[in-house]
Structure 1
Amino acid sequence: MQKFDPIFPAEAADPHVTLIRPTAPIATPTHGGRAKCLQRLVRLDLPVPCTVALSFRTVHGIAHGRMPDLQGILRHFDANALLCVRPSSEDPDWGGPGSILNIGMNDARYVDLSATLGTDAATSLYLRFIKSYAIHVARLDPDLFDSIADDGRQALSEALMTYEEEAEEPFPQSPERQLGEVLRSMARAWEGTTARLLREAKGAPVDAGLGLVVQEMALGLGMGECGSGVLQLVNSDTGALQITGRYLSQSQGRDALQRGAASLFLECDPRGPSLEELAPEAFAQLKADAALMRRKLRAEMQIEFTIENGHLHILDGVRVRRSSRASVRIAVGLALDGIIPPQEALLRVEPRALSELLHRQIAEDAPRDLIGKGIAASPGAATGRIVFSAAEAQSSAARGEACVLVRRETSPEDIRGMHAASACLTERGGITSHAAVIGRGIGLPCVVGA
C-alpha cells in the first residue's frame, strides 16, 4: 500500500524525483501518463503500492551519466522490499523499454524468501531477475540464458555462473547498484537512435521524454492465494460491456496473458475455473475498483493487478486498446452513462474510425476457412468468384456476377478491372503499392503481399 514517509515532507519534495501521493507535483508533460495515472489512483484511495516517479529531465540526465540520489529513492521503501521499474512516456503508443521486476533480489534476500515463501517460489523470483537483468540491463547474449530451464536450484546456480563468466564479475548484490543500472539501461534505451526513429514514426516529437516509475512489488507468489492478472470492463474488438482478462496463480506481471499459460477466467465461466470462484472477495473488490476508475478517470481502463495472500494490489492502469468499432461504442457508452458529455464523445472518435466502419465487414462469429494471409491495404469485406485479369473482371461484372481480381501485382492497365471487381488480392506489394493506393482511393477492399 501507499506509504507516506515523514522524512520527505511535501513542501521539501524534489519535483523531479517524488513519491507519488495526492498532492505531489506530477503532470503528464513532465512525468508521463503512467505516473499521472498512478497519482489519480492514489487520490481514489485504491490499493496502489508505494511508488516513486522520476521526471523526463531526471531520466534524460541518467542517460548522460547524472544519477539521482539512489539512497534517497530507496529510503521511501521498506528495506526488504523488491522493486520494479516501469516506463512512463507522454503517450503509451510511443512505446518504451520493458519493465524490470524483482530489483533488490540477491543471495541474502533469497535465503529470507526461501524461509517465508518456500524454496521454489524464491528460486523462481531470483532466476527471473537474473535472466531479465542479464539480457536487458547487462546486455548479455539472450541465448545463453533462454536455454536455462526453469527447473529449480540447479538452474539458479547455472544462471549465476553464466552471468559471472559472461560479465566477468559476480552478479551484483547491492540493491542500490541494481536499481542504478536498471535506470541507466532504460534511459539509454529510450534515447537510442532506433527507439527514437520508431516513436517518431508513431507521431512522437523529436524531443519526446521518458519518465520512470519505481514501484514496490506485490510479489504474486506465496503460501496463500497469490497471483497476477489483467482486467478490463469492455471487449477491445466490439466495445461491448464485458469483463475480459485473465488471472494466473503464482505469477507476476502479465504472465497470465502468455500463450500456453494455465490462466483462469475472471468471472465464473462454464469453460473452466475462475478467479471469482477462487478468491470471491478479491474479485468483488477488483470489479468495484474497475468501475470506480471508469467513472472517475472517464475512460475504459485496463487494470494490471496482483493478489498477495488474498489481498488485492493495483499496479497499473492504462486506456484499453480498441478497434475502430470498439472506439465508437465505448465513446457512446460513456456518454449514455453520463460520464462524458455527448460533445466530448464525438471528439473521441477519430474520422479514420468512422471511415473504416462504413465499409462492409465480416461478422465476428461467422464460420471461415483461412487459406492465406496478407497486408490489409484497404478496409472492407467482399465475396465473389476469382478472376485473374482485368478483362475477366469486366466480363463478370457485365454478367452481374461478383468477382475478386487476383493478380501477382497490379499495374495501371488493371484499374478498369479493379473498378469492376468486388475486391482485389495481390501476391506482391506493400501498404504503398499500386493496388493498395488505388484500392483506398476507390474504396475497394484490398489485400496485398498474400
Structure 2
Amino acid sequence: MSPVEAARTKRVYLFGAGATDGRAGMKELLGGKGANLAEMANLGLPVPPGFTITTEVCTSYYENGRKLPDGLKAEVDAAIAAVGKAVDANFGSANNPLLVSVRSGARASMPGMMDTILNLGLNAETVEGIARKTGNERFALDSYRRFIQMYSDVVLGLDHGAFEDLLENHKNLNGFSLDTDLTADDWREVIGGFKDHVARELGRPFPEDTNEQLWGAIDAVFGSWQNQRANTYRRLHAIPDNWGTAVNVQAMVFGNMGDTSATGVAFTRNPSTGASELYGEFLVNAQGEDVVAGIRTPQPLTEAARKAQLSEAPSLQALMPEAFAEFDAICKRLEAHYRDMQDIEFTIQEGKLWMLQTRSGKRTIHAALKIAADLVSEGLISSEEAVLRVDADQLDKLLHPAIDPDAEKEILATGLPASPGAATGEIVFSADEAEA
C-alpha cells in the first residue's frame, strides 16, 4: 500500500501519545474536538493523550446499517496500547488500569447534543486496582458509581433519573446533603444498588469486560449523531446530516481526587458582554458533569468575579494560585493562536493542570460586536475579518425587548442568561418537555 493510500484509509489518529497525527485544520476528518486536541498537543500544552476515530467511520457506520467497519478494531487496539504506554497503564489491567473517556466531536460545535462516557474501564477488579494505585479508595469508588450511571444511561438505555433517585434515597437515609459527604463504604452500598437496578431492568449484569465497555461506548457515541437533540440542533443551525461525528477516546484525568483537584469551564472573554476578562466557573473535588448538573453551586474562577458576585466561596485564583496562573497564561496563548475568544474545559488533578478542550466560544450579538472590534484593536484580526465574524442572522437580537437596567425590580432568582432579551413563559426542565 502506498503512503497516499495508507493515509486515505487511516481511521484512527493519535494525539499526545508520543506522536500527534492531526492538527487544527483537519476538522472535517477529526471533528472540532479532535482537531483542537491535536493542535493543543502540537503546541506542547498539557493534554491527556488519546486518539480520534474519524468522521468517515461515522459515515460508514450509517451507510452499513449502524455497523462499524472491518479492521477498525485492530487500529483502536494499537491506539489504546499507545495511550496506555504514554501514561504507564494498561487498559483492562487489574493492577494498573488505564481509564478513558469517550466523547463525540462533530466538525461544527454542538455543545451538549451528543453523548459522553467518563471513567470507562472500571469493573469490580480494576476499581480495586485504582484504589491501591492512588491510595484513595473513596475516589476510586466515586469514579465507579459515576461510570455505572453514565454508561447505563448512554449505552444501556436506562433512565438516568432512576440512579439519581437511588443516590438521593441513600443520602436522605443517612443525613447527607452533598455527594462529597459519602464515604467509601457509602459508595460501595450505592454501587451495589446501581448494579442490582441494572440486572433487574435488563435481565443481565452490568458489563465487566472492559473491551465490551469500550466498543459499547464507541457505538453509542456514533449512534448519538442521530438522537433527537442532535437532529433538532442540526436543523436549527443548518448543519448537514452527512457530516457525521468523530469519537475521541482519551486517558482520564481526575478532578475528584480530593481538595487539590478540580474541574471547570471558562471563556477567555465574557460571552455575554464581550469584556476582556476570564469568565467561567469550577468545582473542587468534582468531575465535569458536576459543573453543569446543578447539584452543587460552582465557584468563580477569579477574585474579581468572586467580588462582583458577592460570593463567599473561594475563587480558583485564591485556592490554587499556581494552577490558575498556568491556566490564565494558556488561555491567553490559545486566544492569540486561534485569534478568537475560546471556550475551554480543564481539570486539575492533585495540583496538575490538564486541558481537555478548546473551541471558538459562542457569544451574544452584543459580545460578538465588542469582541470583533477589540480583536481589531489588538492587531489579531483585520477590519474585514471582523465584519465577517458577526453573524448577520444574530443582528435582529439587538432589537429584542429587554428589562430596563435602571428600572425598579424585585429579584426572585439569579442565573446565567439563555435568551437575548426579556421573555415570559412556563418553566420546563428538558428540551423534550418544551416541545411537547
What is the TM-score normalised by the length of structure 2?
0.77
| 1:101 and 2:118 aligned | yes
Conserved in 1, the CA contact under 8 Å of 2:11 and 2:57? Answer: yes
Sort the Cα spacing of 1:119 and 1:206 in 2 relative to 1 into closer, same or farther, 3 A. Answer: closer
More helix by share: 2
- Equivalences for 1:387-402 in 2 at 5 Å? none
- Out of 350, 366, 371, which is 1:309 matched to? 350
Name the counterpart of 1:207.
242
- Out of 4, 17, 21, which is 2:12 matched to? 17
Name the counterpart of 1:295.
336
Name the counterpart of 1:234.
269
Secondary structure in structure 2 of the residue aligned to 1:86: strand
Sort the Cα spacing of 1:310 and 1:183 in 2 relative to 1 into closer, same or farther, 3 A. Answer: same
- Out of 153, 172, 191, which is 1:135 matched to? 153
After TM superposition, give the deviation of residue 66 of structure 1 in Å.
2.0
Post-superposition Cα deviations, 1:9-67, rounded to whole Å, max 9, x if no partner, equal 99977632110255437711122111111122112111011020111121233452225
Conserved in 2, the CA contact under 8 Å of 1:89 and 1:95? Answer: no
Secondary structure in structure 2 of the residue aligned to 1:113: helix
State the AA in 2 paired with 1:304.
Answer: E
- Out of 397, 400, 409, which is 1:356 matched to? 397
After TM superposition, give the deviation of residue 94 of structure 1 in Å.
7.8
Count of paired positions: 373
Name the counterpart of 1:34.
33
Secondary structure in structure 2 of the residue aligned to 1:52: strand
Post-superposition Cα deviations, 1:388-423, rounded to whole Å, max 9, x if no partner, equal xxxxxxxxxxxxxxxxxxxxxxxxxxxxxxxxxxxx
Sort the Cα spacing of 1:22 and 1:133 in 2 relative to 1 into closer, same or farther, 3 A. Answer: closer
- Equivalences for 1:403-414 in 2 at 5 Å? none
**Whole-angstrom CA distance in 2 between matches of 1:144 and 1:351:** 44
Sort the Cα spacing of 1:367 and 1:213 in 2 relative to 1 into closer, same or farther, 3 A. Answer: farther
- Equivalences for 1:239-258 in 2 at 5 Å? 239-258=274-293
**Whole-angstrom CA distance in 2 between matches of 1:290 and 1:19:** 24
Conserved in 2, the CA contact under 8 Å of 1:275 and 1:283? Answer: yes
| 1:60 and 2:38 aligned | no
Name the counterpart of 2:382.
341
Give 5+ residue unaligned stretches, structure 2: 85-89, 91-96, 168-178, 180-185, 413-418, 427-436
Once superposed, what is the RMSD of the aligned Cα atoms? Answer: 3.1
**Whole-angstrom CA distance in 2 between matches of 1:207 and 1:305:** 30
| 1:172 and 2:207 aligned | yes
**Whole-angstrom CA distance in 2 between matches of 1:143 and 1:95:** 18
State the AA in 2 paired with 1:335.
Answer: V
Identity percentage over the alignment? 29
State the AA in 2 paired with 1:122.
Answer: A
**Whole-angstrom CA distance in 1 between matches of 2:411 and 2:273:** 21
After TM superposition, give the deviation of residue 248 of structure 1 in Å.
0.9
Sort the Cα spacing of 1:45 and 1:11 in 2 relative to 1 into closer, same or farther, 3 A. Answer: farther
| 1:283 and 2:324 aligned | yes
Sort the Cα spacing of 1:228 and 1:10 in 2 relative to 1 into closer, same or farther, 3 A. Answer: farther
**Whole-angstrom CA distance in 1 between matches of 2:36 and 2:330:** 14
Post-superposition Cα deviations, 1:286-332, rounded to whole Å, max 9, x if no partner, equal 00000000000111112110001111000011222211100111111
Secondary structure in structure 2 of the residue aligned to 1:88: strand
What is the TM-score normalised by the length of structure 1?
0.75
More contact order relative to length (CA 8 Å, sep ≥ 6): 2
Sort the Cα spacing of 1:380 and 1:11 in 2 relative to 1 into closer, same or farther, 3 A. Answer: closer
Secondary structure in structure 1 of the residue aligned to 2:369: helix
Name the counterpart of 1:145.
163
Conserved in 1, the CA contact under 8 Å of 2:138 and 2:187? Answer: yes
Name the counterpart of 2:102.
85
Secondary structure in structure 2 of the residue aligned to 1:294: helix
Name the counterpart of 1:325.
366
**Whole-angstrom CA distance in 2 between matches of 1:110 and 1:426:** 48
**Whole-angstrom CA distance in 2 between matches of 1:101 and 1:426:** 37
Conserved in 2, the CA contact under 8 Å of 1:93 and 1:202? Answer: no
Conserved in 2, the CA contact under 8 Å of 1:228 and 1:254? Answer: no
**Whole-angstrom CA distance in 1 between matches of 2:420 and 2:225:** 34
After TM superposition, give the deviation of residue 204 of structure 1 in Å.
1.4
Secondary structure in structure 2 of the residue aligned to 1:234: coil
- Out of 263, 274, 289, which is 2:298 matched to? 263
State the AA in 2 paired with 1:137.
Answer: V
Conserved in 2, the CA contact under 8 Å of 1:230 and 1:254? Answer: no
**Whole-angstrom CA distance in 1 between matches of 2:391 and 2:367:** 12
Secondary structure in structure 2 of the residue aligned to 1:305: strand
